[in-house]
């Protein structure tokens, strides 16, 4: 793979970035339904990786992850990751009847959530489609028949819920295949979000260093701070390379996809944690106030470091 986006992918990223730049508000606890519908109807973000035979746009998972990186940059709450993971779980494990029925709804913008019973469910209290992997089966559950409760977390832009599935479920396919695919896609999805968030953090820090004056000079002119921001840039670009390599591999199901996914989730999570900490430090006292977005970067870093497995967990899964 060439570590560069195609012209079409660059245009896709630019379009999403422009729209989110005008409309995104990261200071809310749930996603903006109007913005989500605009992203789905005008750009087709939920449909990108879904085959045309199931109502999608017929592109690839990689294109979806390009969009997810821009969502991470905006810090906006979005159900894109949960819907993407659910769609990929269905593509991997569901029977054709379930695909024909559920995937067009996801492509059109219905919020979907997936769970295998391991911890809080991403967007679980908001989803109109709920898919559960349990034992050897993949099941569809009517969201109206289950108990769902929002779980407050450090990062208010990452929506988690406690979902208790006690109602009858309809078996729609193979659980292990769906579970394996969901975990890989969740890992590379978090890596993409982390890269976007880290990019936003670096941009914020560089801009602030040009504006903040100390001892009669912008603080960005001080050599020590230049070195720290240069280190942030190096970590960001290495994280982006890891993310793109893993995204491409998982999208095309290459032999090294699992290894690259574990590597990307571990490295991108650690890189964002470092960049977020530096962002707070280099913004000084303003960074610990609610009025500045630096605290949102730090909280997102913490959330992505836990979601779909910690860096330590993924490093342990890398075989030499």
Q: Is residue 230 part of a domain?
A: yes
Q: Is residue 203 part of a domain?
A: yes
**Alpha-carbon distance 308 to 314, whole Å?**
9
Q: Does 29 score more than 80 pLDDT? A: no
Helix H or strand E segment including 12: helix 7-23
DSSP state of 50: S
Residue 170's DSSP bridge partners are 140
Q: Is residue 311 part of a domain?
A: yes
**Alpha-carbon distance 191 to 185, whole Å?**
10
Tell me the mean pLDDT in the region 139-144: 94
Q: Residue 118 — very low, low, confident or very high, per pLDDT cuts 50/70/90?
A: confident
pLDDT at 2: 54
Tell me the mean pLDDT in the region 66-77: 96
For residues 250 and 185, the answer to whether their CB atoms sit within 8 Å is yes
| Structural domain that includes position 298 | 178-316
SS3 assignment, position 183? helix
Tell me the mean pLDDT in the region 172-184: 97
pLDDT above 90 covers what percent of the chain? Answer: 87
Q: Is residue 312 part of a domain?
A: yes
Q: Is residue 87 part of a domain?
A: no
pLDDT at 184: 97
Q: Is residue 300 part of a domain?
A: yes
Tell me the mean pLDDT in the region 92-106: 98
**Alpha-carbon distance 132 to 244, whole Å?**
28
CB atoms within 10 A of CB 34: 9
Strand 129-134 to strand 121-122: parallel, antiparallel, or no bridges (unpaired)?
Answer: unpaired
Phi-psi sector, 295: left (phi>0), alpha (psi -120 to 50), beta = alpha
Kindly tell me the sign of the dihedral angle through the C-alpha atoms of 14, 18, 19, 23: positive
Tell me the mean pLDDT in the region 200-206: 97
SS3 assignment, position 234? helix
Q: Is residue 52 part of a domain?
A: no
Q: Report the number of distinct structural domains present in the chain.
A: 1
Q: What is the signed CA dihedral for 35, 36, 41, 43, rounded to 10 degrees?
A: 90
Q: Is residue 72 part of a domain?
A: no
CATH number of the domain within which 295 lies? 1.20.140.10
Q: Residue 1 — very low, low, confident or very high, per pLDDT cuts 50/70/90?
A: very low
Residue 133 token pair: 């992997």
pLDDT at 166: 78
SS3 assignment, position 67? helix
């Amino acid at each position: 793979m060439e570590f560069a986006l195609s012209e079409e992918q660059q245009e896709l990223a630019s379009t999403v970035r422009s729209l989110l730049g005008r409309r995104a508000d990261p200071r809310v606890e749930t996603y903006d339904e109007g913005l989500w519908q605009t992203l789905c109807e005008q750009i087709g973000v939920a449909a990108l990786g879904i085959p045309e035979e199931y109502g999608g746009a017929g592109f690839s998972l990689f294109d979806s992850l390009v969009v997810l990186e821009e969502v991470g940059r905006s810090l906006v709450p979005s159900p894109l990751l949960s819907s993407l993971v659910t769609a990929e779980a269905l593509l991997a494990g569901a029977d054709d009847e379930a695909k024909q029925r559920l995937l067009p709804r996801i492509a059109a913008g219905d919020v979907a959530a997936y769970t295998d019973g391991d911890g809080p469910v991403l967007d679980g209290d908001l989803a109109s489609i709920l898919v559960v992997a349990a034992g050897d089966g993949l099941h569809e559950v009517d969201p109206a028949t289950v108990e769902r409760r929002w779980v407050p977390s450090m990062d208010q832009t990452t929506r988690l819920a406690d979902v208790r599935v006690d109602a009858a479920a309809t078996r729609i396919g193979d659980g292990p295949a769906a579970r394996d695919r969901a975990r890989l896609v969740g890992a590379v999805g978090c890596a993409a979000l982390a890269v976007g968030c880290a990019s936003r953090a670096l941009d914020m820090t560089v801009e602030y260093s040009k504006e903040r004056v100390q001892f009669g000079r912008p603080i960005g002119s001080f050599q020590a701070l230049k070195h720290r921001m240069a280190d942030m840039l190096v970590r960001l670009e290495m994280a982006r390379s890891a993310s793109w390599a893993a995204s491409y591999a998982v999208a095309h199901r290459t032999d090294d996809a699992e290894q690259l996914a574990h590597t990307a989730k571990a490295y991108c999570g650690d890189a964002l944690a470092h960049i977020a900490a530096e962002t707070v430090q280099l913004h000084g006292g303003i960074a610990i106030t609610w009025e500045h977005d630096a605290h949102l970067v730090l909280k997102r870093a913490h959330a992505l470091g836990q979601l779909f497995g910690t860096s330590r967990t993924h490093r342990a899964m890398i075989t030499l």
